[in-house]
């Protein structure tokens, strides 16, 4: 218990120091609030952003009212896009990566194309995305899917091709059909790589969703940050950024747990 408190104290030391410094600079008037509002102002703005904007009127359910804050609405919108886009990217990349990892000829065939497309940042597709899908959610989901697609594809491919051939020989020797070998040997054997691809893919999806919302959509955290800039609400910009950080952290922690569960057999995962 004591060591936990210690760890917490050490972890909080740096953020507290920064906040104190930041508050000091603002209190001394070295910067205008428009360039950098004080952390307290940002905190208050964040609360205002989270809490419902209207007083409870009794017509709706209490829970609906409690969740009607602008931030929750925006975060929900962003998360929904990330999940949809990531889902599309994942569903396309995983089977393709598995097949290409297992089939050297297909890999040779598709590799040049992939190597050219892979380095193009999803952001560069924005104009095309708008031309193809118009405005709103479809181009955003397209861009996020694209951002998640390549890391998952590349990692799945690498994962499948690094599965030790001795496992394949053992499985064939035990009479497993190609389908069973694929599902029970190649897929789990590639899992450590696939999961690290998924993690990178989610990171990219998050990056892309913010940019996509700044351009094609009119809600979500990205949109809100850009909107706040137009009104010079610097405190709201920073409150939005912090929210993005917190959600990212939450997703990463959830991924960590998923990793631990799926790779519980793996060396070094205790």
Residues that bind other proteins (CB under 8 A): 166-167, 169-177, 180, 184-185, 188-189, 191, 264-267
C-alpha distances out from residue 104 to 108, 149, 171, 181, Å: 6, 20, 20, 17
Closer of 41 and 176 to other proteins (Cβ): 176
> Nearest-CA neighbor of 145 among 95, 231, 205, 78?
205
How far apart CA 250 and CA 268 sit, in angstroms, is 23
Tell me the closest approach of the beta carbon of residue 155 to other proteins, in angstroms.
Answer: 17
Tell me the closest approach of the beta carbon of residue 76 to other proteins, in angstroms.
Answer: 36
Tell me the closest approach of the beta carbon of residue 251 to other proteins, in angstroms.
Answer: 25
Closer of 115 and 177 to other proteins (Cβ): 177
> What is the three-class DSSP state of 120?
coil
Closer of 229 and 266 to other proteins (Cβ): 266
Tell me the closest approach of the beta carbon of residue 54 to other proteins, in angstroms.
Answer: 52
Tell me the closest approach of the beta carbon of residue 260 to other proteins, in angstroms.
Answer: 14
How far apart CA 151 and CA 86 sit, in angstroms, is 11
HSE-CB at 31 with a 13 A cutoff on CA atoms is 14
Q: Distance from first CA to last CA of the chain, Å, rounded?
A: 21
Closer of 97 and 189 to other proteins (Cβ): 189
Closer of 25 and 269 to other proteins (Cβ): 269
| 229 and 237 Cβ atoms separated by less than 8 Å | yes
């Amino acid at each position: 218990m004591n060591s936990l408190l210690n760890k917490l104290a050490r972890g909080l030391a740096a953020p507290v120091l920064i906040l104190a410094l930041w508050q000091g600079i603002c209190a001394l008037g070295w910067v205008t609030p428009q360039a950098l509002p004080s952390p307290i102002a940002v905190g208050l703005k964040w609360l205002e952003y989270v809490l419902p904007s209207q007083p409870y009127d009794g017509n709706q359910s209490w829970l609906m009212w409690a969740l009607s804050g602008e931030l929750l609405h925006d975060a929900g919108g962003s998360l929904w896009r990330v999940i949809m886009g990531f889902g599309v990217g994942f569903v396309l990349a995983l089977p393709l990566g598995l097949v290409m990892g297992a089939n050297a000829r297909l890999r040779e065939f598709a590799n040049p194309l992939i190597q050219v497309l892979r380095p193009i940042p999803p952001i560069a597709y924005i104009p095309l995305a708008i031309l193809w899908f118009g405005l709103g959610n479809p181009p955003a989901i397209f861009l996020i899917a694209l951002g998640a697609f390549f890391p998952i594809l590349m990692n799945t491919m690498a994962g499948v091709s690094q599965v030790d051939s001795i496992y394949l020989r053992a499985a064939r020797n035990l009479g497993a059909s190609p389908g069973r070998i694929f599902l029970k040997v190649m897929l789990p054997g590639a899992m450590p790589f696939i999961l690290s691809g998924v993690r990178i893919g989610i990171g990219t999806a998050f990056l892309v969703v913010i940019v996509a919302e700044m351009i094609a959509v009119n809600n979500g955290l990205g949109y809100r940050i850009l909107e706040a800039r137009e009104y010079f609400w610097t405190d709201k910009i920073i409150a939005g950024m912090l929210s993005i950080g917190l959600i990212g952290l939450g997703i990463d922690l959830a991924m960590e747990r998923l990793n631990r569960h799926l790779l519980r057999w793996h060396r070094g995962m205790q």
